[in-house]
Amino acid sequence: MTFCTLTIQQAREGLRARQFSSVEITRVFLTRIHELNPTLNAYITVNDDEALAQALAADARMARGDDTPLLGVPIAIKDVLSTRGLRTTAGSRILENYVPTWDATSIKRLRDAGAVFLGKTNLDEFAMGSSTENSGYGVTRNPWDQTRVPGGSSGGSAAAVAADLCCAALGTDTGGSVRQPAALCGITGLKDTYGRVSRNGLIAYGSSLDTVGVLAKTARDAAIVLSVIAGCDPLDSTSVDTPVADYPAALNGSIAGLRIGVPREYFIDGMQAEVTSAVRAGIEQLRQMGATIKEISLPSTHVALPVYYLIAPAEASANLARFDGVRYGLRVPGNDLIDTYGKTRGAGFGAEVKRRIMLGTYALSAGYYDAYYIRAQKVRTLIKQEFERAFDEVDIIASPVTPTTAFKIGEKVDDPIQMYLADVFTLPCNLAGICGISIPCGFDAANLPIGLQLMGKAFDEINLLRIADAYQNETSWHMRKPVLS
């Protein structure tokens, strides 16, 4: 049996039936990571010793009859979520030696559910990017074509799941950072509703947009992880006290009568034709399964990108002020305190992070605040209202995830606007605070995966996951694997 291809569901079944132990499968994953990671660079830090200890503890718990949703299941964690005792870099050299003394709430919930942490995955520095090329620890390579990017910012998590270097992984999604790499790596990526999962312990980028999400091999696995990490948290005042559903139990395979809206603004000039046709075919598949399809309009879609690239950098410029070389991280001594701040941050941050701090600082500065930041927030209201009106008519919105399949490493690195356009279809979901998922729906002629995006109203993860799971019952795109030596 090839343990590495196990889904969470299969891993739990096998562990429960004593077909294998957690230590056994954890060792197999660690061996594969050490074999493939030098090329793929999906992990920044491999957690060998602790993972085996966690696996041993999980096996002992199972021997006592314990049965929790992730007991003994090896997973990976995006390196922007704080893990007690395990280095957390946020992909930045400024945090090269940072070891958190406490767990993020989502991490604590995974621990309590019995998960085994294989390691911390690569990302664009502070989750700012769409290709993982902005990492301070080198680019991650797409398992489907190693000359191409895996997407970003959760590119390490996406590549690790696609290359079977874990059963599933946590990611974060501020503007598409779970869904876009999931699409480019041919896996399932869930961005839950803002407030569904605690952000406590997530190193902040854009606080009104940041969400903790799941990268998995199936929608069912994403549902299993969501059930574990979702819920209100006194340590995050923006986590919402809405009941957490038993998401896996809600996956009944039936989508009959569900109304799906297809926004015409999500099919634009310049898109790769193969993406358009695969997404259209995926929507047709849903129709054949019993959903009703309706064309809708989200007229402000084209301004989501400038809105996002004012609001997110503005929030980032405030959030990243904490990296001042005093309490943690790098310090480069200067002539006085201000000089120390500048030298520390100038040396510790990479080019894209500095670019966004500059952009955000400008948008918030006197004289420009109303014209840029407040105006962007007002247009954000329009975008949110358009989604609310759309959801009066339909239950789910279907669209492409990205305009193209995975692009070449280096192709867009010197052109911020071209890079930002990779997120043009994923940003609106974050601005509106709703939930979305990316599922594989085809491949292009170069055998690169294509993703179908489904978006649901706030806190309607049930319908989102139900439709994604039903689609995966009827199709096999999500089961294709890249060829890796």
Q: Catalogue the active-site residues.
A: 78, 153, 177
Q: Is 392 exposed, middle or buried (0-12, 13-18, 19+ CB in 10 A)?
A: exposed
Q: Is 5 in the site for another protein (CB under 8 A)?
A: no
Taking each helix axis from N to C terminus, what angle separates 219-229 and 461-474, rounded to the nearest 10 degrees?
150
Q: Which of 78, 311, 98, 95 is nearest to 173 (CA)?
A: 78
Restricted to residues 271-290, the positions that interact with another protein (CB under 8 A) are none
Q: Which is nearer to another protein, 188 or 430 (CB)?
A: 430
What track of x and - describes contact with another protein for positions 112 through 151 (by CB under 8 A)? ----------------------------------------
Residues between 44 and 103 that touch another protein (CB under 8 A): 97-99, 101-102
Q: Which of 340, 369, 444, 481 touches another protein by CB under 8 A? A: 340
Which residue in the set 342, 389, 393, 479 belongs to the binding site for another protein (CB under 8 A)? 342
Enumerate residues 6+ apart whose C-beta is below 8 A from 355: 416
**Nearer Cβ to another protein (114/350):** 350
Which amino acid appears at position 6 of this protein? L
Q: How far apart are the C-alpha atoms of 274 and 278, rounded to whole Å?
A: 6
| CB of 283 or CB of 435, closer to another protein | 435
Q: How far is the CB of 9 from another protein (least distance, A)?
A: 32
Residues 177 to 206: which contact another protein by CB under 8 A? 194-195
Q: Residue 443: CB partners within 8 Å, gap ≥ 6?
A: 186, 278, 449, 450, 477, 480
Burial (CB count <10 Å: 0-12, 13-18, 19+), residue 138: exposed
Min. distance of Cβ 248 from another protein in angstroms?
27
Considering only 103-111, 254-262, 283-291, 309-317, which stretch makes contact with another protein by CB under 8 A?
Answer: 309-317
List binders of another protein among 343-382 (CB under 8 A): 343, 345-347, 349, 351, 354-355, 357-362, 365, 371-372, 374-382
Helices 461-474 + 273-288 axis angle, to 10: 100
Per CB under 8 A, does 208 bind another protein?
yes
Check if the beta carbon of residue 303 is closer than 8 Å to that of residue 376: no
Round to whole Å and give the CA distance between 187 and 168. Answer: 10
- Candidates 328, 404, 411, 484; binder of another protein (CB under 8 A) is 328
Q: Enumerate residues 433-452 that contact another protein by CB under 8 A.
A: 433
